Amino acid sequence: MATITFVRHGNTDHNVEKRAQGHTSNPLNERGRAQAALVAKRLAEEPWDVFISSDLVRAHETAEFISAATGKAVDLFDERLRERDTGKIANTIEAERIERWGEHWRELDLGIETHESMRARGIHFIEEIASKFAGKKVLVVTHGYFLGQTLKELMQDESTGHDLRNTSVTTVARQDGKWTYLLYDCVKHLPEQ
C-alpha cells in the first residue's frame, strides 16, 4: 500500500493580502514560521521513509522546519509540486488586475496554467511516487491550490480539495486499487483552530 502525506506550506504575506503567488519566491511570514514549527513537531511523532518538497521558497522553508524536527532530510525538491503558474497575474491582487486588464481579465490569455495541466502534473507525480516507493511512508510539502486540484482528480470528486489551510495535513492511501483519504485538511497542531 502506498501512503502519501501532503502538507501545505505555512502562511505568507501573499496569503494575507490575497496576492497571486504562483511561482513567486515569497517567504513565510512570522505566522507561517510558527505554523511550520507546529506541524514539524506533529510530524516528528512518526517515521518517514521519503521526504519530497516543492522547490519554491515558502514550501522549502516549511520543509526545513520539518526536516529539523524529524531528523529526515529532504530527499528531493520537485518542480512538479509547485503552485499553479499564475502567469502575468503573479504578485498582483484583484484590484491591480482590474486596473491593468479590466474587469474581464479572467477571459484574457495571461499565461495562467490550466486546471487540466495542473491536475496532470499532480497525478503524474502521485503515480510515479506510489510506484517507486510502494509500501513506504512518503511526506510531501506543497501548495494549496495545486494540491486541491490534484486531489479532485485523484479522488474523481469535485467536492473535495477546497480551501486547504496553511500547514494542513492530508494523507491518501491506495488500497485495493483505489485512493482514499486517511486524513483530510487536518490542522489539529494549530492552536487557533
| Known binding positions for substrate | 8-15, 58
CA 129: distance to chain centroid? Answer: 16
Distance, in Å, from the CA atom of 93 to the CA atom of 20, rounded to the nearest integer, reads 6
DSSP string, the chain: --EEEEEEPPPBHHHHHT---TT--PPB-HHHHHHHHHHHHHHTTS--SEEEE-SSHHHHHHHHHHHHHH-----EE-GGGSPP--GGGTT--HHHHHHHH-TTGGGS---PPPHHHHHHHHHHHHHHHHHHTTTSEEEEEE-HHHHHHHHHHHHT-TTSS-SPPTT-EEEEEEETTEEEEEEEEE-TT-TT-
Distance, in Å, from the CA atom of 127 to the CA atom of 166, rounded to the nearest integer, reads 25
Catalytic residues: 9, 83
CB atoms within 10 A of CB 156: 9
